[in-house]
Each structure stands twice: as C-alpha cells, then as structure tokens.
Chains A and B, each alone.
Chain A
Amino acid sequence: MVRKSYVLKHWQLYIMLILPLAYFFVFKYLPIYGVTIAFKDFNVFKGISASEWVGLEVFKDIFSQKSFYVALRNTFMLNGLDLVFGFPAPIILAICLNELRLQKFKKVAQTMLYLPHFISWVIIGGIVYQVFATNYGMINLLLEDLGIGPIPFLSEKNAWLATYTSVGIWQSVGWGSIIYLAAITGINKELYEAAEVDGASRLRRIWHITIPGIRTTIIVLFILKIGDMVDIGFDRPFIIGNVMVRDYSDVLSTYIYRIGLQSGQFSTATAVGLFQAVVGLVFILTANYVSKKTTDEGII
C-alpha cells in the first residue's frame, strides 16, 4: 500500500523516466536481436529471420584468419600504450594545474588544453600529415635545416606508435583532466593547511593528500578503461594509420569496417563485434574483481 501511494504520488517522475528507458530499450536492447546474424549465413535481402543458421561456422572462419589476430594484437597494443602513457597523463596534468597559484593563467591554460578535444579526428589527421610527413612535413623540414636526418614519424613502426600515442594524449589530456580537477576540489582544504603547518613539502602534500583524495576516481576510471581494452575508437587508428604501418594500425574497429561495410560480410563483422563485447565484459569484471579484492573500490 505504502509503496503504491509513493508511486502514485510521484508519477510524474516515472513518466519522465520513460524516455530514457525507451531510449535504452530501443537503441541498446532491441538491436541485441541482431547479434543472431553472427550465427547465420546472413542474406541481406532475406532478412535476419529468414537467413539460415550456421552455428559457429562464422567464428571458425574468423579464428582461422591471420588478419583477425593481427587486428586483435594491434588493438591490445595500441590500447596498452594508451593505458600506460595516456592514462596517467590527465592525472599528472590535473595535479600540476591544481598547484598553479595564478588563477587567470590556470583558466587560460585549461581552456587551451581542452580545445583539441573538440577537433574532429579528420582534421587532426590532416594536421598530423602536414606536421609529421617525412618529406614535406614541418618538423622534418626543420630537422633537415638543423642537419638532422628526417625521422619517419608516419612510416616506421616505432616512430609511428610514438606519434599515435602522443597525438592521442595531446587530443584528450585536457578533457580527461576535468574529472580529476573536480575530484581534487572535493578534497578538504584543511588537510593541506595542517600538512603545511607540519612542514610537509609540496611533493609530500601531493603524494599524501591529493593522490589519496582522488584515488577512488582514478580506480573507477581505470576499471572502465580496462573494460575498453578490446574496444577501440575507429577514427584515430583509421585516420592516423597508413599503408606503411598497416601491420600495426589495423585494429578491430577498422577490421570490422572493412569486412562489414566495405565487403558486405555482415555476419563476419557481427561475430567480431560480439567477440569484442564478450572479451570486454570479461576484462571489466576481472578488473573490478581484482580492484575490490585489493583496494575495496569497484564500480559494480
């Protein structure tokens, strides 16, 4: 009885919830039905239900393809690099920004650092080519004048990986730091004052107050990031990659694009997508479990 009256009393709230729920239902849950394509010999003209079941045939086909493993390896490699170099970057930046005294400068710096986040990858790709091309790129022209040989930023494996990672950091570091900055503002100022009185140096304060203060945030984001290990954006590897480094720039998303959209093999593409989702789920659950065991923080 009590419960019912509560619902009746706040019925507007429930009505308002319908839209977001409908969104998730229609756009996130209904399409799950389409996953069945992965187990069918999908004929686009017959439709999903009329296509024949083929069991795990499609998966067998994928797991026998060398290019699939290459794409999978590259996905882990590029995401791994992002995790090692890209994940700490916004934390360090947020801590640095936090230590700034001059508020005006801090604001300006922040805004400038956010900006790249709003530039589309297509445009960044254009800039990257202008700046890093071996022969006519700005940096290499400069190096040439300095008498240093051209560095193949875009065509040699290791140089390309460095370019890929650093461009990614440049693009996202400012944006990523927002959430940490917000977490830092939540730390009690008295702790800093007390530490200062006790004679703690700046580094000590960062180490013993700031970092523990944002630990929860770091862990939550870290778990999410781990869950995304098999999931990789399409634009960045697709645009910054080129033929010379395709052995390293071809990732699952570009693989799916090529197989699914360009070659019209929807079953294969769906199967890879499903595989990606399952591995992603395993990763995120594992990360969460480990984190709960070791630090007592988790997201589920």
Chain B
Amino acid sequence: MKALKRMGSLLFTVTLCFALIVGCSSNSTGTGNNNSEGSKSTTTPRSNQDSNKNESKERVKLRVEVFDRGNAPEGLTVTNNLMTEYVQKNFGDPNNIDIEYVAIPRSEEINSLNVQMAAGTAPDLIFTYNEGAAYSWAQQGGLTDLGPIIDEHGPNIKNYLADSLQYGVFEGTQYAVVARRVNLQKYSSLIRKDWLDQLQLPVPTTTEETYETLKAFKESNLGGQRTIPLSFALAPDSYEPVIWSFIKEQSDEARYLRSVTIGSREYPILMDGHKDALQFLNKLYNEGLLDQDFALDKDKKKKEENFVNGYTGLYMADTGTAFGGGENSVVMTLEGNVEGAEVVPVLPWTDFEGKNRQPAYNPSGMYIMVPSFSERAEEAVKYLNWMAQDEVIQYMAFGEEGLHHDLVNGYPVGNSSEEAQKLLFNSGDMLIITNGIDFGSPEKNNEYNALSVVEKHREIATISREYANKDAVSQPIKFEKPLDSEAKYSVVMLEKYEELLVKSIMAKPDSFDQTYEAALKDFMDTAGNEVIQERTAMYEAMK
C-alpha cells in the first residue's frame, strides 16, 4: 500500500512538474503531495501549537458547520455575512481564533457529513438532528469525548443546558452537546371558517364530525373543481396526527415493544390502531377527500400551494408555519388570494377515549459534536460556551433594538426590515445552542410567539399553538442508548414505511387488508423484525 502511495505521489509530482514546464506561472513551492491536500496545509502550524495549549498567542482556525438552505439575501452567503462577522469580532478576535464556516446543504446534510467524516475533512464543530448518525459516529470512535473539556471550558454551557446535556451522553460518554428545544408543539390544523359558514356547519370536534365535514366540503366543491377537502402530503405533518389519534395503546411498554424510532420520530407500527388509522386514510383517499397526488408531494410544496390557492378545506402543518413570516405568512397569502377566506384553528382528530392525543417534541434539539480527528475541540467548546450567554443569544436571535427588532410589551419582535433580514436570515442555524428562544416560562414564550404573528391573526395563532399542546405526548420514547439496528436501518425503514403508507392508502377498499398486510410484512422482513428484537432485548434488560 505504501508503495502504491509512493508511486502515486511520484507520478503526481511528475505530472505537476510537467504542468509547470508547460507554462504555468505559479510558484514551485508545492510538490504533488502538498497540492493534493491543499485544505489540510494549515495543519502544520497546528501541531506545534498544541504543546502550549491554553494561553497560546498563535492564531488558530476553527471550522464550524452551517446549514445552507439557499435562502441567503442577495450578496451574502451563509459562510460570510453580518452574523459571521459578529461572531468573528466578538468571539474569534478576542480568543485569537479565525472562524471559518463550512456550508453543508440542508437537504444533503447526512450524506455530506458521512462523506466528510470518512474523508477526515469534516468541520471541527458539526451538528445534525439525526440521532442515529450521531450515534453511529460515536460508536465507530469518530467523536471527541466532550465531558472533560466542558468541565474545564464550558461553565456557561452547563448552566444554560443543565439537564439537557444528558441527551448527548451515549453509554456514559458525553459525545455531543444537545441543544435545547423551547417550543415543543409539533402539529396544528386550520379549517376554512368561511366554508363552514356557507354550509352552516360547526367547527368539527371529533374524527367522525371531521369526516362528515370533509364529505360536505367535497359535495359542494367549495374550492372549485380542484377542491381538496383534507390537505395531505407524504410528510409527517400529514400522517402523524391522524395515525396517533387512532392508537389505542398508551403504556410505555407498548411504546417500547411495538413502535420503532426512525430518525427523531416514533412510529407505532405494531400498535393496536395503526391499521385502523391507515384504513381510515384509505377511505378518505378512495372517497376523494384527501389530495389524490399526495404521494408525489414529499416536500409539502404542493400542499401549501393548494392551501394558499384556496383549494383546501382542512389544512394540517407543522405548528407555527401557517402564521410565520409576518405579512407573507401562509394564511396572509391565502387571504390575499381568495376573497373572504377565513381560517380557524381546529382539533380534528380524537382517539378512542375522545382525547386529542398527538405527538410533541422532546426538549432536545440538534446534536452538536466534535469529530475525533479535530484538533480544535477546546476551541469548539469555547465557542459554544461563548454562545451560551444571554447577551449573545439575544443578539444572535434578535439583533439590535430599533435596527433589527422593536420592543413590544417587553419582547423583542423582529421588524422584518431588510437589515434584520440580512443579519438574521439563518439565525436558527447560527445560534445552534438553542432551538427557539426561551423567555423563562411557557406563558411568556406563548406571549412572544403571538407577538411575532401579524396582529389580526394573533388570537387564532395563540389558540392554534395551545391546541397543539393538548394531550400531546413527547416522542420518541428513549432507551438508555440509541439502537444499533435503528441507526443502521433508519433510511431503509423510512422508505419502507412510506411505501406502506402509500400502498395501503391508495389501495382499493376491498384489497386494503391484503395490501396492508403485505406491505407490513415487507417492512418487518427488511428491517422491522431486527429492530423489534433489539428493542425487546433492551427493554427486558432495562426492567
């Protein structure tokens, strides 16, 4: 192998020399080897520097991941903008650190991190929402133990995250710092009030009533030829609320033994009621009550489009998304597009006890980690420690008063000015230590959330958020450590589950049973059985 490498570099050197001879003007300092590892060339000063650790006066470079969602305002990038300048000035310069942000495309997050981790080029500070990926890196020895470093350099982190720090402990080692999640509400539904009024129907309060209402919407085609009584996409915000409302089992035991965790969600695939839920959706589909093209809509774009164009009667979405965005919110757009359109919050689905059982988030956000090959673990922890201060959080979330936000009833409310947009467009991806801003109590947080919505929708937005809390169950239920099989199969399981959904929902009613059983068997054979086995073993061990 060595010989191969040597030959490779020799050849490369020859090639490079050739390129030089042919008429390249670049200086001749680099040999083939150096050149091919361009990005690593900074490692040379690093190693000298390690010996005189803390009080080093030498400038070092800290590479930090940042999501690229392609939403940077013109002229700015996620790696170079007002916020990165702020961080450099307030954290970097005083500590003699150059901060380099590394853009990771949001939708390709895991793929690109996997590759960069394997190649050893991942940033010094990485983060992801995917627990399975975090765990599998930890397991393979790819992450730095942050425990001792936090003890030494992270008092603010400890203070700020307190108990949430435990979420980052895998098998006794602090492999990750897990951000706090403030708003735990997951899904909200809205219904067209003007449609209900036209049909002289009340806001539905049970699944049965909802079904009748959807049928009425369909019959009178209130949204024109393309009326879609129930919005639906091949996304959790569409299927989770419905499915969980049909589940008849609630014990922890059932959740451990008859559901699986895929990514950060709990899928009650073997629980009593799961099949009924899909049968119900199958009925809705066959009666034309839910979007017939839902299986093609994985990014929820069509779902939103249909709603703002006034085709949709009952709209299910992630909490907050319908009212977020100030003047350009989804509901505002609908009202602008369709004259007389009006929405009210609704709790459409009830379970066997008449409750509105629905999923909620765990109070943990993204996993923030340092790869084991990084030599900047200490600086990375210092960075997080710096961030976990009130004034920094305040600035990174809201900017300056008057310029980026206004104080309303004592709460900083973004003023959606161009300046604010420039500084805060990716605030959530920069302020990684927390997901949402905590004002000290749920009431205060609600008050703030309301203020961030345009005035005329404040009331319904607040009710909508409260509805999302009703009978909500934090998910997923966690074992002491993530499961190997779930980490291994997370992608495969999600695909198989989506197949199960699509096939059984789209089946003809009389072949539903058959289709459901076949798809379930496929899911179980591919990965389910192995996962359930591991869950059972782990549950037995826990008892």
Known: A25-B8, A243-B502. A258 touches B495 (CB 8 A): yes
CB pair A22 B293 closer than 8 Å: no
A97 to B275 alpha-carbon distance, docked (Å): 57
CB pair A135 B110 closer than 8 Å: no
A26 to B10 alpha-carbon distance, docked (Å): 11
- Segment of B49-57, B360-368, B483-491 engaged in the interface with chain A: B483-491
CB pair A258 B14 closer than 8 Å: no
Q: Which residues of A contact B110 (CB under 8 A)?
A: 262, 264
Interface residue? A225 (CB, 8 A)? no
Interface residue? B118 (CB, 8 A)? yes
- Segment of A43-51, A173-181, A227-235 engaged in the interface with chain B: A43-51
CB pair B296 A44 closer than 8 Å: no
Interface residue? A118 (CB, 8 A)? no
A67 to B111 alpha-carbon distance, docked (Å): 21
Q: Which residue of A lies closest to B502 (CB)?
A: A243
A199 to B293 alpha-carbon distance, docked (Å): 58
Interface residue? A2 (CB, 8 A)? no
Known: A244-B502, A258-B495. A265 touches B1 (CB 8 A): no
CB pair B234 A136 closer than 8 Å: no
A44 to B117 alpha-carbon distance, docked (Å): 7
Known: A136-B226, A155-B295. A30 touches B492 (CB 8 A): no
Contact check: which of A46, A66, A243 meets B526 at CB < 8 Å?
A: A66
Interface residue? A15 (CB, 8 A)? yes
Contact check: which of A30, A136, A247, A263 meets B4 at CB < 8 Å?
A: A30
Interface residue? A236 (CB, 8 A)? no
Q: Which residues of B contact A238 (CB under 8 A)?
A: none
Report which residue of A44, A67, A259 has the largest number of chain B beta carbons within 10 angstroms of its beta carbon.
Answer: A44
A160 to chain B, nearest CB (A): 12
Number of interface residues of B (CB under 8 A): 44
CB pair B293 A134 closer than 8 Å: yes
Known: A25-B8, A45-B372, A246-B495. A265 touches B140 (CB 8 A): no
CB pair A46 B141 closer than 8 Å: yes
Q: Which residues of B contact A46 (CB under 8 A)?
A: 140-141
CB pair B136 A243 closer than 8 Å: no
CB pair B526 A67 closer than 8 Å: yes
CB pair B140 A44 closer than 8 Å: yes
Contact code string A125-168 (vs B, CB < 8 Å = 1, else 0): 00001000111100000000000000000110000000000000
Contact check: which of A30, A135, A246, A259 meets B292 at CB < 8 Å?
A: A135
Known: A135-B292, A262-B110. A30 touches B18 (CB 8 A): no
A33 to B506 alpha-carbon distance, docked (Å): 47
Q: Which residues of A contact B74 (CB under 8 A)?
A: none
Interface residue? B11 (CB, 8 A)? yes
A44 to B133 alpha-carbon distance, docked (Å): 13
Main SS at interface, chain A: helix
Interface residue? B414 (CB, 8 A)? no
CB pair A45 B506 closer than 8 Å: no
Contact check: which of A30, A133, A259, A264 meets B293 at CB < 8 Å?
A: A133
Q: Which residues of B contact A22 (CB under 8 A)?
A: 11-12, 14-15
Known: A26-B12, A244-B506. A265 touches B292 (CB 8 A): no
Known: A22-B15, A136-B293. A263 touches B234 (CB 8 A): no
Interface residue? A84 (CB, 8 A)? no
Interface residue? B499 (CB, 8 A)? yes
Interface residue? A242 (CB, 8 A)? yes
Given known contacts A44-B117, A45-B117, A263-B492, what 14 new A-B pairs fall within 8 Å (CB)?
Answer: A22-B14, A43-B140, A43-B141, A45-B137, A134-B292, A134-B293, A135-B293, A154-B296, A243-B495, A244-B503, A263-B490, A263-B491, A264-B133, A264-B136
**Considering the complex of A and B, which 7 residue pairs feature the smallest CB-CB distances, nearest first?**
A44-B118, A45-B142, A262-B491, A261-B111, A22-B15, A135-B293, A264-B114
Residues on A facing B (Cβ under 8 Å): 15, 18-19, 22, 25-26, 30, 33, 43-46, 49, 65-67, 129, 133-136, 154-155, 242-244, 246-247, 258-259, 261-266
